[in-house]
Amino acid sequence: MLAPAPRPPGSLALRCSRVLLSPRARLSLLALLLLSAGSLVLLYEPQRLLSSGWRPRADGTGAVLLFALAYGACTAAFVPRPVLNLAAGALFGSAFGLTAAVAGTVLGAGISFTLGRVLGQDALRPLLRGRWLTAADGQLSRHGFRSMLAVRLFPGVPFAAANYCASISRMGYVPFLLATALGTVPNTAAYVVAGAQADSPGSPAFLFSAGFIVVSGLAAAVVAWRKRHRLRGTAPAPVPGVAPQPVGGAAR
């Protein structure tokens, strides 16, 4: 009996698999997933479901775990974390609410990091040609833990943007998740305590947490404003008679 002839290396199935697994195809899939997640958030507003789906002051390990899972999925879909942190405090109190919020934060960051690493890194890394992009990539790749810890402690950096920027770099999972878990505690705790003490806005705990949120937000705005002007000031001035170099490399 004759054996079936092997398919030629340029067969249609092989070409289709190469196209579907190409970096551009995976990046397109990532963009589609993020667009769909953002649209679902705008349409269904899951942050309201998290606060209305539980009875006030819910307790129990199962409820905390379920909330953390929902929290992680929502943060990966761009639901604002401050809203979720306030809901965690209102539902579980300060201690259990902080536990659920930090666990959900780490879970959501891990989901975003994995999506960016698997679907977007190969396509986006060749585009890191600008001086500031290259510097940021080098900082995250060489000093991942301390860089991400500083980013998490700084309240002005968007959570999702930090996740996907880190996923494009060569930072490992362990320093990324550990820095996320440690760096998000102060700001998360302030919102959770504010949510837990929302029924007594005159209490010292609520006033302290609200003051911390305001002061940290103002500090983030001031630092961002100063960094913006510093970057402008360090930009190289054009030399008369010399054509500008293309971004990220020498003239071809």
pLDDT score of 224: 64
Q: For the chain, what is the largest distance between any 2 Cα atoms, rounded to a whole number of angstroms?
A: 88
Phi, psi dihedral angles at 186 (to 5 degrees):
-60, -50
- CA quadruple 153, 157, 161, 162: dihedral positive or negative? negative
In terms of phi and psi (left: phi > 0; alpha: psi -120 to 50; beta: otherwise), the region of 200 is beta
pLDDT score of 57: 55
Q: Are 169 and 140 in contact (CB under 8 A)?
A: yes
pLDDT score of 105: 96
Per-residue pLDDT of the chain (252 residues; tens, 9 = 90+): 455 555 555 565 556 555 556 777 777 887 888 788 778 777 777 666 555 555 555 567 888 999 999 999 989 888 889 989 999 998 899 999 999 999 999 999 999 999 988 887 777 766 666 565 676 777 788 888 988 998 898 877 889 888 988 888 888 899 999 999 999 999 999 999 998 998 888 888 888 888 888 888 787 777 667 665 554 544 444 444 545 444 444 444
pLDDT score of 250: 44
What's the rounded Cα separation, in Å, for the pair 250 and 244? 10
Q: Are 209 and 197 in contact (CB under 8 A)?
A: yes
CA neighbor of 193 nearest in space, from 98, 84, 83: 98
